[in-house]
Structure 1
Amino acid sequence: MVATTTTGMFLVCFDALCPCFGSKRNDGSEDPVLSKDGNSLSSSQMRSISDRIPGSPLRVPGSPFRVPPSPSRFSLSSQPSRNDPLNLSLEQVIKLTRNFSPALMIGESYFGKAYRVELQDGHVVAIKRARKEHFASLHAEFKNEIALLKKIEHRNLVQLLGYIDKGNERIVITEFVSNGTLRDHLDGQHELILGFSQRLEIAIDVAHGLTYLHLYAEKPIIHRDVKSSNILLTEGFRAKVGDFGFARTGTAEQSEIQTDVKGTAGYVDPEYLRTNYLTVKSDVYSYGILLLEILSGRRPIEVKRGAREKITVRWAFEKYNRGDVQDILDPMLTESVNEDILTKIFDVMFQCVAPTRADRPHMKEVVEKLWKIRRDYAKTQNRAEATV
């Protein structure tokens, strides 16, 4: 359910490192980009983060993935899989998890540890238990996540099934998403490498989920922690956005929310970091960083690389500005991708990470642009197959 995290993270500001980070196509970025898929941090912690990230393991190429046709309209939640609510007692949860056995643990986050549990009827769920050491500080996050998850239902959002708030235990029960996190797959931990078509589909799925949160939920919801370790994949490689502990709700009239900065270093909107004002465009920035991560396979900060390659978005922008878009792609991808398709998708990515919010698109616009890119990509693939 949640990727294992570590505490080593750091924050770097582009305006200090790359003052020339302007846009050739009016879509550049000069903002703080991060380290690893680590713990979520407060604004005070973000200003004192250590420079530490492990390297990525080797990856094994996988098979291509068929690109489904684009929907004819903006269909957001076509037939999400609804699971029945669960009313488990604390005693039942303890028994099902074998007293929270490490053998059943599937991940760990700032909130706590997650476990894979099989119910008596054979249905598998994920159980997330709050950390005791953060019990008091996590109370607001727990209440927030429950309140939000109870109100949303979308095939690209992890579904709440139940929760427990009793004594010194706070537990969230959600659907189990069986294929691990996106970051796990980008790291090659599942013994295959995601193909370009799969990556494009995952990017569209995440954009669908965020569009629903921003526009179609009962109230606008800002996720505030969009990152690859919070994106879960099904066996069919459909993506679901999870971990709503830091999410905030707004109103149609309230375009900005003043709040302490929370999120994961490197994915955080620099305007939010600077002003403490949060908007849906803050999620758009994080999504842009995620989109680059999906395409390149790199974390936002690669500390083991040289100075010119350490900050992934700056490195990618330099390649993009020189027209070397092929060089941005994950080198483990064995398939050939049309350069025009790559330029279009990187155009979208750099629009999302524009330094000022006014220059960023809304998530619905992002989805529509990615739909068109997917359609164009399918045409190039069909032409390539016809010439073989």
Structure 2
Amino acid sequence: MPKIPFSKVSCSGSELKYIKEVLKSGWLTTAGKTQEFEKLFAQKIGVKYACAVNSCTAALHLGLEALNVKVGDKVFVPAMTFTASAEVIRYLHADPVILDVDYDTRILTPEILEKAIIKHPDVKVLIIVHFGGHPADMLGDNGILKVCKKNGIRIVEDAAHAFPTRIGNQMIGSVGDVTCFSFYANKTITTGEGGMLTTNNEDIYKRVKVMRLHGINRDIWDRFTSDKPSWEYDVVAPGYKYNMPDLNAAIGLAQLEDSDKFHMGRLRAVNFYRSGLQGIDGIDLPVCTIPLEDHAWHLFPIVLTPEANIERNTFIERMAQIGIGTSVHYKPLYLMSYYKERYDLKAIDFPNSERIWKGTVSLPLFPFMDTDDLSFICSSIKTILKEAKLNVTSV
């Protein structure tokens, strides 16, 4: 019986070579490899500045801080996202205003945002999540950028899923005020643990670079390589410990070199799924409103509809029994005890998110998936749904 994991890391490039170079250098923390990773990532995205950190959560926190989010401020955030998108708002003692999303893409739309602004005119910042690797509707006369600019709202893009995602002739990461990427182990490229903040704003970049390492005004590698005394520095703000070590950056450099291959491998699996699962009664496939190749395809989430005649959790159990790993993205924020109780949130106010949540299942998706495995996954889904229909009929 095949054992197909939900996610599988590919490290068949120069990872070991670059790690050995770091080990031989004797300098394991933030140094030359991290700077090289930042430079090459910025070039890949087409953005002026990139700042490597130890997680996307750290990047989100630094981004909000750089945009001067303060105690009591309000920040829009979509319901369908990982908790990090909201918890960083609370780090600064600001308050998340949680919004519903579009059913097809699971993303906050300009229309939903405009209605929310009318109801909450005092919101200062938007965290927009490019869910699964599909970009939000950022550009154009009616896009999110224009809506936010008109209403004086700054934007932090949560692009944890969105490398490499393209929108029009731009890469996500070069569009809004601040963009935050994740390099967690299951992401489209990984550093084991890590993240990146990108921006075209020099002031934001300078602030983030200082705040990522204790508010010290001189980078430790700059101090080490400078002809000035290495101990001499100043603390200009109460910063954080968010820097990325060179050991992680070494992995990231190798992953970045192979990122196009990884993307093509994921796209191949997506095309297989789209062909093999198209038109099945009881399944809504993820909707893609852009060219397929412009989507990062971090996730391939389906939604089981009532016509499937099987509950989501039962479906996941059946898939596990036959050796297929799955996941759920996500249990929405309004159902999490902390946010539900603190902000008195009710599911009825999030109809699209609730509809997604009740049926959502993310299928295995990683580079270089075996065709036989993809066929087995598709045929297993059809068998499970067929059995569910027969069970209902027999009752």
Assess same fold via TM > 0.5.
no
Larger Rg: 2
**Shorter-chain TM-score: which interval?**
under 0.3
Q: TM-score, normalised by structure 2?
A: 0.26
Q: TM-score, normalised by structure 1?
A: 0.27
